[in-house]
Structure 1
Amino acid sequence: MSPLDPYSGTEPRGWERSDRPPALPWPDREVEPWSPRQSGADLSAVPQAPPRPPVRRHDESPDGPYDPPVAGRPFADDDAPTSQLPPVRDDDAPTAQLTPVRADTVPTPPFSPAGDDADLPEADADLPEPPPGRRPPGRRRASAERPATGQPSTGRAGRNLPAAIGVGLGLGALVLVPLFFFLPGFLAVLAGAIGVGIWEMARAVRRSGAHPPLVPLLAGGVLTIGLAWFAGPDALSLGLLVTVLGTMIWRLGDGPAGFQRDITAATLIAVYVPFLGGFAAMLAAAPGDGPLRVLVTVAGVVLSDTGGYAAGANFGKHPMAPRISPKKSWEGFAGSVVAAAVGSALLIWLLFDVAPWWGALFGVAVSVAAVLGDLAESMIKRDLGVKDMSSLLPGHGGLMDRLDSILFAVPTAYLLLAVLVPVVG
């Protein structure tokens, strides 16, 4: 017997077929699967979904009929689900108790809007015009109740000149008082200054990715100063060697990564700060006239800096090293040399009874060394991307910003004074 073909009838096919489902050859039409009514003993056990209750409106009684929305009728306010909720009054709002902001208390933006005033909306026309420019950070806006905060005046060098003068006088007293009244105290001051300089240098070079070990550098620096004080030039070289070897051994504990970079930075710091500073210890430790040797050296550096600042600020037009220190000029360098030569000639003639021209030569050499030391630190700071080694001294920056000239000047002064004024004993 061939199977029945449900589509073998004569009913139309495709789009001509009516919406009514085609009749299939089932034995009983009452059990067709798409029929909403299913009856019969075989389907009585099939679970049926419960019928959905009709949806009523919120304002309709439970027993009332449901009126479906009429197409084309506008949506009335009473048809909204929230139409029966009580309205929110203005005094019930969470911000009802806040004090209204008055127009005269609206803060003015700290910057001027871009564009012309004609481009601003009309609502902003009544606002007060903001002051031109941006306020510097940390300054409050002046008003009738709060006057403007006074800022310390700065010189042409970009420094706070009164603070710089005060700090300079304090540093001078800290050096000269123990130098002439309690010489071991000068050794303690020198060792402390070298320790601070090592810390500033190690902190600055970390910006380049190098991490020199600080503990052996500090210990080796103090040891170098002490050896130079008590045993002279040979012990100074020994202190430098011990410091470098100590940093290498200490750095081995951190592994091989970056070892060469860190040891190079540590060696630079050891030579630049404690080794050069050891010559100041040998100057002060000279028997008989050690404090005077330190005095003429420091005076030559101070005269060089003062003469260079005065000449550069008033006559400086030709940059000396614009890529290293743009503010240094050849006119300032000439002022440094002249001031140091004149002052050193007078001091050495009065203190050591040496011919003035030898004193002038001493002043020129000290001034050139001081300028080279200043340029060397400026080059280091420019390479590291810092303006000052630290902010320890107001108006000066860091202590190394004051020691840069002296560290290059003391070896020069030590060698020249050893020839011009031989050590007695």
Structure 2
Amino acid sequence: MSAALIAEEAAARAVPLVAGVLGAGGVAVAVLPSKVRMRAELRRRWRTWALVAPVFLGAYLLGGGGTFVLAAGLGVIAVSEFVRMAGSARGDHAVLVTAAVALPALAWLAPHRLDLRAAALLLIAAAVPSLLAGDDRSGFTRTARTAFGLLWIPVALTGLVTLGETGVAVGLAVALGDVGAWCGGTALGRRGPLSRPLSPLSPNKTWAGVMGAAIATALLLLLLGAFSLPLWGAVLGGCVLGDLLESMVKRESGVKDAGSWLPGFGGLLDRIDSLLVALLLTMVTVR
């Protein structure tokens, strides 16, 4: 049985679970009393989840071509948000957009070509715009930012194609992990040792949130029949480090959000920052 067919079956099995979680979440946000400070925000987030979940699972139900379209679409939008934050030039943007489409295509049609040769070409591609422009003032900085963007976004998103059924589990577990982190931070992060922030980069992210994410991700992976310690560690690492990584980029860029078009979240990068790191860690740790 092909990896794409196995992924389709995994997505089909996950549909009732996702529908149940969305249904329970919808009821929960609908009955929130008006005095709850984040009621409107939580309702916007739930509506976004209700739209995103069918798109994510639907891509896997369509097979390899569906996951390619999903990864490439996410990549093109995400790199465009990254370019705006980084202040990248037009040539750097072109390299990132090309990679956002080409790498998932390779992952779908010729995954054996995603090796050290591809990594070498990506490094050269990151430098080409600055080299051709003769940029001796900021060329190295531009190249470094473009190389980081290539690894962070297009390379990570190839995991949606290559990981198969594991990609389904990672995507859903990261989504629930973000919810668990919010619940844990809200319930346990007000005082005591668990209220300590993880990093000055994101003072609202506490150890209580890590605990909440750990419980939520483990529970979902168990329900999906995909739990293993390496996979759980990769997903939890993505939930913890992904937000901090994007916060670092945003703080240096002087912006609050990567965008403003995604209700309840901001931009696409604000929504998939944890997923990107989780996919990278999964590709490294899970065989």
Give the corresponding residue for 1:380. Answer: 249
Q: Which of 40, 49, 54 is matched with 1:173 structurally?
A: 54
Alignment correspondent of 2:279: 410
Letter in 1 for 2:134: G
Give, in angstroms, the shift of residue 159 of structure 1. 7.5
Given that 1:342 and 1:363 are in contact with CA atoms closer than 8 Å, whether structure 2 keeps it comes out as no
Which residue of structure 2 lines up, in the alignment, with residue 215 of structure 1? 94
Shift of 1:240: 3.9
Name the amino acid aligned to 2:99: G
Distance 1:410 1:319 in 2: 27
Instruction: Measure how far apart 1:365 and its partner are.
Output: 3.6
Shift of 1:182: 4.3
1:299 aligns with 2:172: yes
Letter in 2 for 1:315: L
Partners of 1:343 and 1:363 within 8 A in 2: no
Residue identity opposite 2:147 in structure 1: T
Contact 2:65 2:108 (8 Å CA) reproduced? no
Correspondence 1:235 to 2:114: yes
CA distance in 1, matches of 2:245, 2:104: 22
Shift of 1:187: 0.9
Structure 2 residue 132 is the aligned partner of structure 1 residue 259: no
Deviation for aligned residue 1:364:
4.1
Moved more, 328-337 or 409-418: 409-418
Alignment CA distance shift 1:186-1:323 (3 Å): same
Tell me the equivalent position of 2:148. 268
Structure 1 contact 276–407 (Cα < 8 Å) conserved: yes
Tell me how far 1:269 sits from its aligned partner: 0.7
Asked whether 1:397 is paired with 2:274, we answer no
- Work out the CA distance in 2 between the residues paired with 1:243 and 1:346: 38
Q: Which structure carries more helix by proportion? A: 2
Could you tell me which residue of structure 1 aligns to residue 196 of structure 2?
319
Q: Flag the 1:238–1:160 CA change in 2: closer, same or farther, 3 A.
A: farther
Cα 1:157–1:255 change in 2 (3 A) is farther
Report the Cα offset of residue 416 of structure 1: 4.8
Shift of 1:413: 2.9
Structure scoring higher RCO (CA < 8 A, sep ≥ 6) equals 2
Q: Is the deviation greater in 211-220 or in 389-398?
A: 211-220
Q: Does the CA contact (< 8 Å) of 2:78 and 2:269 recur in 1?
A: yes
AA matched with 2:62: F
What is the deviation of 1:220?
2.4
Is the alpha carbon distance of 1:411 and 1:213 closer, same or farther for their aligned partners in structure 2, counting shifts above 3 Å? closer
Instruction: Indicate whether 1:339 and 2:216 are aligned.
Output: yes
Deviations 1:18-76 (A, max 9, x none): xxxxxxxxxxxxxxxxxxxxxxxxxxxxxxxxxxxxxxxxxxxxxxxxxxxxxxxxxxx
1:309 to 164, 176, 182: 182
Mark the CA change 1:174 to 1:216 in structure 2 (over 3 Å): closer, same or farther: same
Query: Residue deviations 1:100-155, cap 9 Å, x none?
Result: xxxxxxxxxxxxxxxxxxxxxxxxxxxxxxxxxxxxxxxxxxxxxxxxxxxxx897
By how many angstroms is 1:313 displaced?
Answer: 1.3
Deviation, 1:322, is: 4.8
TM-score (norm 2): 0.77
Amino acid corresponding to residue 148 of structure 2 in structure 1: L
Query: Which whole-Å CA distance do the structure 2 matches of 1:258 and 1:155 have between them?
Result: 48
Partner AA of 2:214 in structure 1: V
What's the % identity of the aligned pairs? 26
How far apart are the structure 2 equivalents of 1:301 and 1:341? 10
Query: What letter corresponds to residue 381 of structure 1 in structure 2?
Result: K
Checking the alignment, whether the CA contact within 8 Å between 1:159 and 1:396 is kept in structure 2 is no
Question: Greater CA radius of gyration, 1 or 2?
Answer: 1
Question: Structure 2: which amino acid aligns with 1:362?
Answer: L
Question: How many pairs does the alignment contain?
Answer: 248
Query: SS of the residue aligned with 2:197?
Result: strand
Write out aligned runs for 1:9-408 (5 A): 160-206=41-87, 211=89, 213-232=92-111, 234-235=113-114, 237-256=116-135, 257-283=137-163, 290=164, 292-317=165-190, 318-348=195-225, 359=228, 362-408=231-277
**Rounded Cα–Cα distance in structure 1 between residues aligned with 2:50 and 2:262:** 12
SS in 1 for 2:265: coil
Contact 2:174 2:238 (C-alpha < 8 Å) held by counterparts: no
For normalisation by structure 1, the TM-score amounts to 0.54
Q: 1:35 maps to what in 2?
A: none
User: Shift of residue 252 of structure 1?
Assistant: 2.7
3-state DSSP class of the match of 1:253?
Answer: helix
DSSP 3-state at the match of 1:390: coil
